[in-house]
Amino acid sequence: MLEFNSFISEELALAPEHPLEQNLERPLPDMRVVSLEEIRAIQRRDRIPGIVRRLIPLNSTTVWEYWWCVPGRMLLPEDVEIIRCDRQRIETILAKLIWLLGGHCFGENSCLYGDAESIYDWQQVLEFTRNAGISPDVMDIDFMPSAIAQVNLSHPYDKLPAVPTAKGQTPNYVVVEPGHWHVEFFPLQATEGGFELKEPKPTCSCQIWTGKPFIKNLETGETTIRYDLGLGTPFDITSHPWLSFGQEDIDSRLPIAVGERE
């Protein structure tokens, strides 16, 4: 049975301090200007982590932290160790969300249309990754706020266009994507001086929805449930001016409430 005296307490919401905390804000070149090899060489030389704290909303006033892998950076051994040590805390939070709302797991050959059956046990999510042959060394977690748009489609299963409605087109569908947490699982592989996400990245994810995503025909009212809409944009706060305050000053570190105060 899950403990719900406090859904996500302050203690549970806070990520542990990084052993290279003092190097988290050290600058790195833009990877659009220099090569990944150059960036990683600087990381190794200056011991700059490949992870940063990311804030994930629980609701409009409460967030929780996790260590997020920055695209293009390698992971130092210290990064991998902090991710490993923090795994139980993250899984505890996700297990609560799965128990409360249910989750949907998707792999390479999963059907993304129709009313998929929910699972309510985090261990079943981990079993899904094992059955897919994936070692879930790293989790990438996004929260997608609710999104609504009108589009023009020839068929309810067509891929959504990059521009919802092109000039001169009349929308014939409305797309509704409720807020949800999107969790992807990735294995790691060794690289010079550390680790990196294994390529090609496998398709293995769990989505935790606050409602069913669907498109609705504006003329007929016909509704089609789809889990591949990709309409929402991740809620992304990863730049932390409060890092210099240190772990002891919790109230200064986060702009909105961390966890739930009892």
pLDDT grade for 5, boundaries at 50, 70 and 90? low
Dump pLDDT digits (tens) for 106-134. Answer: 999 898 988 888 999 999 999 999 999 99
How far is the C-alpha of 174 from the C-alpha of 221, rounded, in Å?
10
* 23/25 Cα distance (integer angstroms): 6
Rounded to whole angstroms, the Cα distance separating 186 from 198 reads 7
| The two three-digit tokens of residue 159, written as one number | 């891929």
pLDDT, residue 257, reads: 52
E strand or H helix that includes residue 49: none
Parent domain of 228: 10-258
Q: What percent of the chain has pLDDT over 90?
A: 67
Residue 219 maps to a domain: yes
User: Which one, of 35, 102, 123, 39, lies nearest residue 73 by Cα?
Assistant: 39
> Does residue 182 lie within any of the structural domains?
yes
Separation between Cα atoms, residue 175 and residue 187, nearest integer Å? 33
For residue 3, is it within any domain? no
Report how far residue 73's alpha carbon sits from residue 84's, in angstroms, rounded to the nearest whole number.
18
Domain annotation covers residue 4: no
Q: 253 pLDDT band (50/70/90 cuts)?
A: very low
Nearest to 213 by CA among 199, 224, 201: 224
pLDDT at site 228: 92
Domain total in the chain: 1
Is 162 part of any domain? yes
Structural domain contains residue 2: no
CA distance 158 to 66: 35
184-205 confidence digits (pLDDT tens): 999 999 999 999 999 888 889 9
